Structure 1
């Protein structure tokens, strides 16, 4: 919608003498139109007055401004940004009261708009949205900060109706509300880069864990291999001892007729053999378990290799996406430069149109005076 006039009146315009800071200096030879404007894109209220093609008032209303009625037909306010004090002389007290009421109303609206913008800034700067703040700062750094309007710089066209206003109030039916700012394309690219780095960290952590498990299993495998060799030697020794005992039993049975003694010895020998067989079975079971652990270690190694390949693929894909992101950023910067150049040319055309409109307005006033004379 841009900037629109919402109230107009006529008054003689004065500025404080910059040297003495005491005397009033008239900036218009006759009563001119003084209008309130509202910029819906920034929620900013301004007081603008033109004398021909020259802007004699261009003051942005801030919450700390105060309009003071110094007499029945004269009021003033200080603009710290313009480093001056403006004074208005009205034709009647009712016009002064209306202007002062509108000043207070728009001052309160400016205060509320400032509070809303501060609340939004506080919401966007919370820890849960820290990345969103950085994206907004990056977007602001690329697109450029908006500057406050300086005195004499008109940022929107003025219609003939707003310039040739009467002493009555002119209010638009609905004042546009504050519009939400649009997201930059670059803001949509940053979260992906952040997620890819998180994925890389996740795979690296898993790879480190697998390396640790692999080292432990390798040490256990070496230890179990040494134990197996020792157990095989013990088993061979037990088998030799069992054969020797069997031969000894046979010899005893043949030589001695003492059946009872031989049976008792045989029983003892059989128990010893059973114990050795149980120990051998336990060792075999432990050997099978170690073999299973070795197989699982090999599986972990294969998983580690596959994860390494996936990590390399992710890194290459991340590099491609970063190249695409830089290309998009360059395109965005070029489009912003083109848009800024178009805005500058459009603003110059609008200023030229404003000058022509005011010239036509003066011509109309002159012709009206001639007709009346």
Structure 2
């Protein structure tokens, strides 16, 4: 095959919204392979990307294209042939920089290839080929419509020769000859006016035919452009078999990774379900402990009330005991005084008994 991929990368593909010309519309649900292709038979560089079997990018690189970095991971370029603007979102800044460098490189190569092609066409062109457009336009030249000078003389000559030959055979007077010449010239003038009117009508008809030919040529050009796009799409589909295979292998690998991730997610979901059951059990235990704590707090408040009451009673009994002790001390002091007086009285009575 003449067309082969020379550089590939992964990116998210976007196209400008044709209605607003401002917003980006994603043309792929995930990152796809974007490749540079080189057609050695036509010496053409193209950017091609497939989403399954659908070509979402089919852009031929021309010397007047420009790749613009609009952010650290996004770049865009305009394709006048496709009448759209393509945008690529890359996974990193380095991928964007490498793609932009390749764009500049292949754009310069396309420019050099175009210049060489033009030089080759100029060298191989011949005078017969250069005169071909003139041959196509030859029916429109004034000579072809009005006739050449020689043809007009040939057409006008017979009446003139007959008018001039008539005096020599009939030998008419000079005045009659002058009148005949005037009539001849008047007839020739009328003939010229008629020819002029016919030529004018022919010119108008030719102008109308030119307009019709231009419309047909425009229709043929549009049809040729449509066929060219169709051929390009078919070449894209047929020339990217390797890309499709690589994408298929990448998709299979991606599916395996997704299946493993799904299995891991299912295991994690089961673990989370068990944790939820455990959490529910812990919640019921917490509610039970909370209820018991509330009962304990209510009992504690009751006991605190009883303790406060007992403390008040103890304090009042202590006060009563202190008062009782004070009373006993007072009685003891009085009793001691009475005992001392009785002792003195006994001693006095004893002394009196001894003295009597």
**Common fold: TM-score over 0.5:** no
Larger radius of gyration: 2
TM-score normalised over the length of structure 1 = 0.41
TM-score normalised over the length of structure 2 = 0.43
- The structure where helix makes up a greater share of residues is 2
